[in-house]
Structures are given as structure tokens and as C-alpha cells.
Amino acid sequence: MDQIKIGIFIAEKRKEKHITQRELADKLGITDRAVSKWECGRSLPDSALMIPLCEILGISVNELLLGRALEKEDYRRETEKLLLEMKRKEEESNKYLLKLEIVIGTISTIAYIAILGSVSLLTEDLRILIPVMVLAFTLLIAGIYYAMKIEYTIGYYECPSCHYRYRPDVREFIFSPHIGRKRKLRCPNCDKKSYMKKVLTK
């Protein structure tokens, strides 16, 4: 999405409606500085504001995201392009987060081993060892928790039998056997239990 193009389009439509930046901001319950940032191409409207903004400006959300008015014959084609672009961005974001999951898990494991190893070499005093072991274990659990949270919230699992994509409930996710990015789950669509691979979009 071209932020500058979208900003120019918002400004044009606002002026066509004879609305000032302050008036538009008041209608949306935001500051006129936020409207100015949109129109200068420095930011985009929050998703929660897009529909009310479009209603005020008399445009569709597709037109807003494309930064131009659409003819009827172009509407379907441009909508499909926009959906594909949004899907591509979702995939890129999810790939980044899954890499982050690996980094968090690796760092927390290395930190756990390093802390325990170094403190056990430096002292045998249980008054020092026990608190340090508790701290190291807490760091490990926190790392595993955040890594699993990322894996759970990103993407879906695809049934190899019926190709249905879904996100299991938390309990099923935690207790299911897994190999890498595959988990043994029961498909809610065809009721078959099998190892399902992680996919980034629905």
C-alpha cells in the first residue's frame, strides 16, 4: 500500500466534502494532527477508523487502501489484488514472528545452561545455588512460554486429508505430540487424527 498516494486521496476527498482537517478529526474522535499525518503519507488510519472514515468521505475501504476511486469494472480485479497483497504481507509478518520464536527459545535455553554452568563452577554454596537455579529456570519457562504463544497465535494447521485449515484450542495445542512445526491433531472438519503442518495463512 502506498501511504503517500492514500494520503493525497484522503485529502482530495475531504476537500471535495468541504471538511477541514479539524472537522474530520472531530467526527472521528481523534486529533487533527493524526489527520495531517495521514494526508502527508506518514501514517495510515487505524483499522477501527477505516469504515467511519470511508463513510464520511463517501468512498469504499478498497478505494481508501488503493488511494484512488474505482470504476465498477475495475472493482473486482482491484479487490482481488488487494486481498492477495494483504495475504502476502500476512505471510511475511508470520514468517518473521516464527523466526523470532526460534530466537527466543534458543536464547532462553542457552541462558539457562550458561547460568547453571557458570554458577556451579564458581560456588557450591546452596544459599547462592538455589536462588540462581530458580532464576535460571524462571527465565527458561518464560522463554518457552513466549515461544509457544507466538507459535499458537501465528498461522493455522492444515489437515492432510481434507485440507481444512484451523487453529486448535489452547489445551489441544499444548498437549499434542509434535515434530518440528507439525502437530498431531484431530481435524474438526473430517474428524481424522494426523500430523498437521503449520501454514501461515488461511
What are the residue ranges spanned by the domains of the chain? Answer: 3-66, 85-153, 156-199
188 and 166 in contact (C-beta within 8 Å)? yes
Taking residues 168-181, report their average pLDDT.
90
H/E run at residue 165: strand 165-166
Residues 6+ apart with CB under 8 A from 59: 13, 69
Instruction: Read off the pLDDT of residues 27-83 as tens digits, 9 standing for 90 and up.
Output: 999 999 999 999 999 999 988 899 999 999 999 888 898 888 887 767 677 777 777
Note the pLDDT of residue 117: 86
CA 10, CA 194: separation in Å to the nearest integer? 50
Q: What is the DSSP string of 128-155?
A: HHHHHHHHHHHHHHHHHHHHHHHHHHSS
Q: Which pLDDT band holds residue 164 (cuts at 50, 70, 90)?
A: very high
Q: Which pLDDT band holds residue 200 (cuts at 50, 70, 90)?
A: confident
Residue 155 has pLDDT above 90, yes or no: no
Note the pLDDT of residue 70: 80
5 and 38 in contact (C-beta within 8 Å)? no
Note the pLDDT of residue 10: 94
Note the pLDDT of residue 85: 80
Contacts 24+ apart (CB under 8 A), 84-88: 85/1, 87/201
Instruction: Read off the pLDDT of residues 80-139 as tens digits, 9 standing for 90 and up.
Output: 777 778 788 888 888 888 888 889 989 999 999 998 888 888 888 888 888 888 999 999
Note the pLDDT of residue 25: 93
Task: Please tell me the CATH code under which domain 3-66 is placed.
Answer: 1.10.260.40
CA 129, CA 118: separation in Å to the nearest integer? 10
Note the pLDDT of residue 73: 66
CA 24, CA 35: separation in Å to the nearest integer? 8
Which cell is 69 given?
A: 476511486
User: Quick one: three-class SS letters along 33-55?
Assistant: HHHHHHHCCCCCCCHHHHHHHHH
80 and 87 in contact (C-beta within 8 Å)? no
Note the pLDDT of residue 9: 94
CA 34, CA 42: separation in Å to the nearest integer? 9
H/E run at residue 13: helix 3-16
Note the pLDDT of residue 92: 86
Note the pLDDT of residue 2: 84
Helix (H, G, I), strand (E, B) or coil at 160: coil
- The number of residues in the chain equals 202
Residue 202 has pLDDT above 80, yes or no: no
